[in-house]
Amino acid sequence: MPPGLAVPPVQNQPPGNGGVIWMPAPPPPLYCPPGLEYLTQVPVAQLGKAKIITGFETNNKYEIKNTLGQRVYFAAEDTDFCTRNCCGPSRPFNIHILDNLGHEVINLQRPLRCSSCCFPCCLQELEVQAPPGTPVGYVVQNWHPCLPKFTIQDEKRTDILKIIGPCVVCSCCEDINFEVKSIDETLPVGRISKQWTGFVKEVFTDADNFGITFPMDLDVKMKAVMIGACFLIDFMFFEHGADNKQQAGVW
């Protein structure tokens, strides 16, 4: 390079294991937590889970991709055998989200809580850390007699966004949408969608696909919290237990 010019960032990364194509690393913006720079250029994220239904619970694994099908992150649940099989979909979990180098850039922590609206004092909550050990936001379930409702908060516990789901969280042959809105619930901001994957996959596997849309200029930390909200929604409403049943609403 000529004197005085900075070396440009590497834009093309080699394929990962198994020929997986990873998203090229964009230049990190100012004040962006390390590893979250990928989200500055992702208006839509695709989250996919692949797991065959068995007689016992196994740790979930996920791929997070952009609209080009390039992998942005890989996520893996870390819970012990007894917790998974005794608590089922309501289990507390610790999910590690890794970049293409295997570095953990986001950590999701869910404590053991109740998910039924019959117990409004102990509803679901998720803490999002980026990097691990540094909270950047929270997903908090709000009590409602009919609708799944959540609040996205920043690291100071200030309410930023609302998530509102349908009354009945099950459907055949169509997507299930959780709308992301402004704090007063008047302006649409984004959406978390459980995508219909076909009869065979829906019935015989626990393979779920989600789409997450958010404004390109949304704070990158809030994008990470929205991804965390997608994980929480998956566990609450679309995770099959050992009895092959899933929760269809807030009851």
Residue count of the chain, please give it: 251
**CA–CA gap between residue 49 and residue 64 (Å, rounded):** 9
Whether 224 contacts 130, CB under 8 Å: yes
Whether 59 contacts 77, CB under 8 Å: yes
For residue 119, what pLDDT is reported? 64
For residue 185, what pLDDT is reported? 93
**CA–CA gap between residue 82 and residue 37 (Å, rounded):** 36
Whether 114 contacts 122, CB under 8 Å: yes
Whether 53 contacts 205, CB under 8 Å: yes
**Tens digit of pLDDT at every position of the chain (251 positions):** 444 434 334 344 444 455 678 888 777 777 889 899 989 888 888 888 765 555 566 788 999 998 888 899 999 999 888 888 888 888 899 999 999 889 999 999 999 887 666 667 778 999 999 999 999 999 999 988 888 999 999 999 999 999 999 987 776 778 899 999 999 999 999 999 998 766 545 554 556 789 999 998 899 999 999 999 999 999 988 886 555 455 555 54
For residue 134, what pLDDT is reported? 96
Q: What are phi and psi of 88, to 5 degrees?
A: 60, -140
Q: What is the DSSP letter of 31?
A: T
Whether 47 contacts 61, CB under 8 Å: no
**CA–CA gap between residue 245 and residue 121 (Å, rounded):** 25
